[in-house]
Amino acid sequence: MRVLGIEGTAWAASAAYFDPGSNDVLIESDPYVPESGGIHPREAAEHMSEAIPRVVERVLGQVDRGEIDAVAFSRGPGLGPCLRIVGTAARTLAQTLDVPLVGVNHMVAHLEIGRHRSGFANPVCLNASGANAHVLGYHDGRYRVLGETMDTGVGNALDKFARHLDWSHPGGPKVEEAARDGEYLDLPYVVKGMDFSFSGLMSAAKGAVDSGERVEDVCFSLQENVFAMLTEVAERALSLTGNDELVLGGGVGQNARLRGMLETMCEARGAEFYAPEPRFLRDNAGMIAMLGSEMANAGDTLAIEESSVDSDFRPDQVAVGWRGEESVSRRPEGDTETDATAVIGAEATAVIGAEATVEIGADRVRKRRRPKAYRHPDLDARLRRERTAREARLTSLARRAGVPTPVVYDVDRREGALTLERVGESDLLAALVPERVRTVGAHLARMHQAGFVHGDPTPRNVRIGSGRTYAIDFGLGYHTDHLEDYAMDLHVFERSLAGTAEDADACREAFEAGYREAGDPAVLERLREIEGRGRYR
């Protein structure tokens, strides 16, 4: 269907016309640029009220109104005052033209434009925008959030740092420009499974500037850490799902360093990467019109009285009616142990995972964290060294707490290498059923009772065999006594279930039952709080 789309979630007042017959899209935009500081909701809304009619009229002046089959609008997430103006404009147009109305999730539109333009069947998507940052994959009728920011969106984080320097909005391009003349400084790096945090990093960056470090060096280091975190979680998502396609969405995707990191990572994995042209990365009505066309074709339209906007509209709340039953998870049956396997001898194979290469012998494995070419060498060396030490220590501590784990035979921190006992016959993905998952819940409870978290509990980091369920790969684990950290450990595992399990609800219930038997009920209560937040603010 031929669709007129309207976008106005925050700063970009935009209208577009999409004709699927020609695959052509016409976009007219009028961005709001604050005189100082960040986006002010009242000023942004005032801009929308003036600019939306202008951009709509510019589009209507170039198309035949009789060739508009539906009107689509950005229903959320975004700034409430801006969304309400756009929603009102869309309702008025739909009634005037006597065509159906379509409400589009802004973040789903970011990933769908990448899928549409790339031709990929069912890719993993990294959304890096101002107010949001997600890693998503389509599974069981919805876009599942495999990982996301624990505090603020990536663009907003960079903007806040820029405002600390009294730089005007938007701050991301100015940080990118300054970074070209910078050198690396050590800054915090926070990844928890496929979730990530920017708040501590931003505080450290501001502190570095205030203490006299060169602005260029801080900008360079900030980019290196922020974008390496995003690239790492994207790679973890590819590894979890066995997928070999990645698309990038969101305005921060215009940053050349981020695109370069993702390209380097995908090339090393043998995966394909696609980033849309800049006009489709920044907020635009073209993506709203394109997704609106698919939704309208599927009959996913709104009655006027049901078309209210939602400033907290999450991508995983969208019932996807325009796609089939395919899943982002592509692991071939019987190949749940590896991303890639090569025979390296008569009795050994090499397994290439998200972070390490594992040489598998008859009764031992040699795990070596490979240097990551996308990361700055200093950061990469630090992470490999720290994670190797953590894995060795926490693997042994988990065994003492009663959790089956491999025996650690040797540790080489300099090389980032471990020699471990070979355990199990396959990953949990080979038997992702409630009975096995229940055991994982009990294992995590024992770890938490012992005062540490696994850090990256997914079906890829659980091995099964001989009637036992083993926990492996503790490189992201750490000691803590905070309920929030324990609940986040559970949250990471349940997200991985949502993106891979055939019966995710039954597996989740079994997992929590296993945890409840051996763990603190207050952790499960905190897990409910985390889910209720939608995302961290």
The reply to whether 136 and 257 lie within a common domain is yes
> How does DSSP classify residue 369?
E
Instruction: Give the mean pLDDT of 510-516.
Output: 98
* Cis peptide bond N-terminal to 170, omega within 30: yes
Instruction: Give the mean pLDDT of 179-198.
Output: 95
Beta bridge mates, 80: none
**Amino acid letter, 310:** D
What sign has the CA pseudo-torsion 159, 165, 166, 168?
Answer: negative
Q: How many domains does the chain have?
A: 4
H or E element at residue 452:
strand 452-453
Q: Which domain does 409 fall in, by range?
A: 340-421
Q: Looking at residue 345, what is its pLDDT?
A: 40
The pLDDT-based confidence of 36 (bands split at 50, 70, 90) is low
Considering the domain boundaries, does residue 133 fall inside one? yes
The reply to whether 95 and 153 lie within a common domain is no
Average model confidence (pLDDT) for the chain? 92
Residue that is last in its domain, among 390, 421, 452: 421
CATH classification at residue 480: 1.10.510.10
What's the rounded Cα separation, in Å, for the pair 363 and 360?
Answer: 8
Considering the domain boundaries, does residue 248 fall inside one? yes
The reply to whether 87 and 216 lie within a common domain is no
CATH classification at residue 403: 3.30.200.20
Q: Looking at residue 307, what is its pLDDT?
A: 94
Q: Looking at residue 37, what is its pLDDT?
A: 66
Give tens-digit pLDDT for 324-376. 888 998 865 444 444 544 333 444 577 778 888 899 998 999 999 999 999 99
Residue that is last in its domain, among 231, 250, 278: 278
The reply to whether 132 and 222 lie within a common domain is yes
DSSP state string for 324-337: -S--S--PPTT--S
Which residues are CB-contacts of 345 (< 8 A; sequence separation ≥ 6)? none
Give the Cα-Cα-Cα angle 432, 269, 255 (nearest 5 degrees).
110
The reply to whether 272 and 146 lie within a common domain is yes
Q: Looking at residue 44, what is its pLDDT?
A: 87
What's the rounded Cα separation, in Å, for the pair 387 and 454?
Answer: 12
The reply to whether 128 and 219 lie within a common domain is yes
Instruction: Give the mean pLDDT of 139-150.
Output: 93
Specify the 3-state DSSP secondary structure of 147. Answer: strand
Question: Is it the case that residue 399 has pLDDT exceeding 60?
Answer: yes
Asked if 103 contacts 75 with a C-beta cutoff of 8 angstroms, the reply is yes
186: nearest Cα among 171, 198, 201: 201
Q: Which residues are catalytic?
A: 456
Considering the domain boundaries, does residue 321 fall inside one? no
70-76 vs 3-7, strand pairing mode: parallel
Question: Is it the case that residue 503 has pLDDT exceeding 80?
Answer: yes
Q: What angle, 0 to 180 degrees and rounded to 10, lies between the N-to-C axes of helices 256-269 and 172-179?
A: 70
The reply to whether 161 and 105 lie within a common domain is no
CATH classification at residue 206: 3.30.420.40
Q: Report percent pLDDT > 90 for the chain.
A: 84
What's the rounded Cα separation, in Å, for the pair 436 and 443?
Answer: 11
Specify the 3-state DSSP secondary structure of 468. Answer: strand
- The region, left, alpha or beta by phi > 0 then psi within -120 to 50, assigned to residue 122 is beta
**Which position has the higher pLDDT, 343 or 529?**
529
The reply to whether 80 and 142 lie within a common domain is no
pTM above 0.85, yes or no: yes
For residue 420, count CB atoms less than 10 angstroms from its CB and return exposed for 0-12, middle for 13-18, buried for 19 or more.
buried
Considering the domain boundaries, does residue 334 fall inside one? no
The reply to whether 291 and 374 lie within a common domain is no
Residue 352 phi, psi (nearest 5)? -100, 110
Q: Looking at residue 317, what is its pLDDT?
A: 93
The reply to whether 272 and 286 lie within a common domain is no
Q: Looking at residue 39, what is its pLDDT?
A: 76
Question: Is it the case that residue 237 has pLDDT exceeding 90?
Answer: yes
The reply to whether 309 and 198 lie within a common domain is no
Considering the domain boundaries, does residue 125 fall inside one? yes
Specify the 3-state DSSP secondary structure of 22. Answer: coil
The reply to whether 177 and 237 lie within a common domain is yes
What's the rounded Cα separation, in Å, for the pair 493 and 511?
Answer: 9
What's the rounded Cα separation, in Å, for the pair 242 and 263?
Answer: 18
